[in-house]
Amino acid sequence: MKTIGIIGTGHVGLVTGACFAKLGNIVSCFDSDFEKIEKLKKNIIPFYEPGLSEIVKIQKEKKKLFFTHSIEDVVSASEIIFICVGTPSNPDGKADLSFVEQASIQIANALKKMKDKKSSKKNYYRLIVEKSTVPVLTGQWVKRTIELIAPTGIDFDVAANPEFLKEGSAIRDFFYPDRIVVGVENERAKKIFKQLYKPLNAPMIFTDIKSAEIIKHASNSFLAMKISYINAISRICDKVGADIEKIAQGMGADKRIGKDFLKAGIGYGGSCFPKDIRAFISIAEELGCDLDILKEVEKINTEQRKIVVKKAREFLWNLKDKNIGVLGLSFKPETDDIRESPAIEIIKLFFQEGCLIKCYDPKAMENTKKILPNIEYGKNAYDVAENSHLLIFATEWEEFKRLNFKRIHKLMKTPYIIDGRNFLNLEKLKEIGFICCGIGKKPGGL
């Protein structure tokens, strides 16, 4: 059993805290967003993640998981402190590390207060861990910042333990990771991590802090590169009538390539890939290294959204005043996260064309309404389909696979479908009477 502190209870911090509590540790969580902590105290989870609310509720009842407005309480109660704050993009693409700096300063000040309490007999050693995705060399800055503020006599290590969980399957990803990457500076920190993660029985890769920081950026960039690569190939398929799914199958069967992340579609989005790639390009440039390969990955990804508009024009001729139905708004299924969602970007493109847009998502409507208040929202997929000229499937939610497409066909003004995620059975849709296509895929192949 360890005592753990979480700074930043967003997607990563809350999942990490709740899951560590489930493993038997005592976890206290702090967030600078007052409302968020108030909600969590009342068992209200600020975002949708399958299975998370049950764990939070149970671990709170078991007195393993706590939420507080006091970072001092977290720091004084916890041997291991995870920094899980956001690292969004600056307009120039660089990672905005101001939240990480702020968290480091707050931790250092809390350490100072802890030391000042003369009555405190607590152990002063603290392991401060970057869990946020950060550019290489951030660990050095975190260490320097804390050293400058924290008084002598406070013994601490800094470490990097990048997070690889995926929204939508975050709980499973925590308990069954492919690997746990840990960057440490000494044996003491390494030993603590070994004890902490022992119950997971997962492969652990120990390295220096800088390498751990790079592993995260390099991994996300590589996955995004796979997506853009298959998307680039899908354009050839569109030109000649080949089938990208079969091509991905043929490629992925080679173990050296692997089948994952070879799904053509409207491109990657979300809170991680786009910003992490921009941050990796930026830090590489700062260090005088060329990562132009990733600029191309970004370019392909941006163009992938425009391909949907082009396909719509091939179906509908003029787009102005046409009713476009968009099904799926989150950047992927099983989340309500719409950060850099391809669906949102596609809606904006159709909006610019003068289209009338109506959309639906099982979980992401409330978040979308905040940023796109001027479009119409349907009660369900059928409501969106009614009188639409074209339906675009932008997120592959399970419930969309089970739709009654005969009913949808009757409801639509013209029977056009674009499957932006290549997850529908285009042959069946064609039999019903739809004119449809995927990305690099049309019905009627062998």
Ligand X SMILES: NC(=O)c1ccc[n+]([C@@H]2O[C@H](COP(=O)([O-])OP(=O)(O)OC[C@H]3O[C@@H](n4cnc5c(N)ncnc54)[C@H](O)[C@@H]3O)[C@@H](O)[C@H]2O)c1
Cβ–Cβ < 8 Å for 270, 332: yes
| Contact residues for 296 (Cβ-Cβ < 8 A; gap 6+) | 228
Residue with Cβ nearer ligand X (100 or 189): 100
- Give the DSSP letter of residue 213: H
The binder of ligand X chosen from 23, 56, 75, 272 (CB under 6 A)? 272
Other CB atoms within a 10 A radius of the CB of residue 166 amount to: 15
Residue 191, classified by CB atoms within 10 Å of its CB into exposed (0-12), middle (13-18) or buried (19+), is exposed
Contacting ligand X within 90-149 (CB under 6 A): 99, 102-103, 106, 132-133
Active site residue 272: yes
**Gap between the Cα atoms of 241 and 443, Å rounded:** 10
If one asks whether residue 8 binds ligand X (CB under 6 A), the answer comes out as: yes
CB of 243 to ligand X, least distance (A): 31
Tell me which residue of 48, 10, 111, 3 sits closest to 367, measured CA to CA: 48
Residues 313, 314, 318, 323, Cα dihedral to 10°: -60
Other CB atoms within a 10 A radius of the CB of residue 23 amount to: 19
If one asks whether residue 441 binds ligand X (CB under 6 A), the answer comes out as: no
Count of residues binding ligand X (CB under 6 A)?
27
Cβ–Cβ < 8 Å for 174, 25: no
Contacting ligand X within 347-406 (CB under 6 A): none
**Gap between the Cα atoms of 268 and 117, Å rounded:** 50
CB of 49 to ligand X, least distance (A): 10
If one asks whether residue 84 binds ligand X (CB under 6 A), the answer comes out as: yes
The binder of ligand X chosen from 4, 5, 10, 375 (CB under 6 A)? 10
Tell me which residue of 5, 19, 86, 15 sits closest to 47, measured CA to CA: 15
If one asks whether residue 86 binds ligand X (CB under 6 A), the answer comes out as: yes
CB of 150 to ligand X, least distance (A): 16
If one asks whether residue 325 binds ligand X (CB under 6 A), the answer comes out as: no
Identify the active-site residue in 19, 84, 237, 272. Answer: 272
Strands (E), 162-225: 180-183, 204-207
Phi, psi of 86 (to 5 degrees): -70, 150
Residue with Cβ nearer ligand X (107 or 412): 107
The binder of ligand X chosen from 5, 13, 183, 333 (CB under 6 A)? 13
| Chain residue whose CB lies nearest ligand X | 10
Q: Which residue has the tokens 């997971």?
A: 200
If one asks whether residue 184 binds ligand X (CB under 6 A), the answer comes out as: no
If one asks whether residue 36 binds ligand X (CB under 6 A), the answer comes out as: yes
If one asks whether residue 78 binds ligand X (CB under 6 A), the answer comes out as: no
Residue with Cβ nearer ligand X (32 or 414): 32
The CA angle 318-323-325, to the nearest 5 degrees, is 120
* Through-space distance between the first and last CA atoms of the chain, rounded to whole angstroms: 58
If one asks whether residue 33 binds ligand X (CB under 6 A), the answer comes out as: yes
The binder of ligand X chosen from 167, 238, 345, 396 (CB under 6 A)? 167
Residue with Cβ nearer ligand X (32 or 211): 32
The binder of ligand X chosen from 85, 136, 215, 385 (CB under 6 A)? 85
Residues marked active site are found at 272
Instruction: Name the residues that contact ligand X, by CB under 6 A.
Output: 7-13, 30-33, 36, 84-87, 99, 102-103, 106, 132-133, 163, 165, 167, 271-272
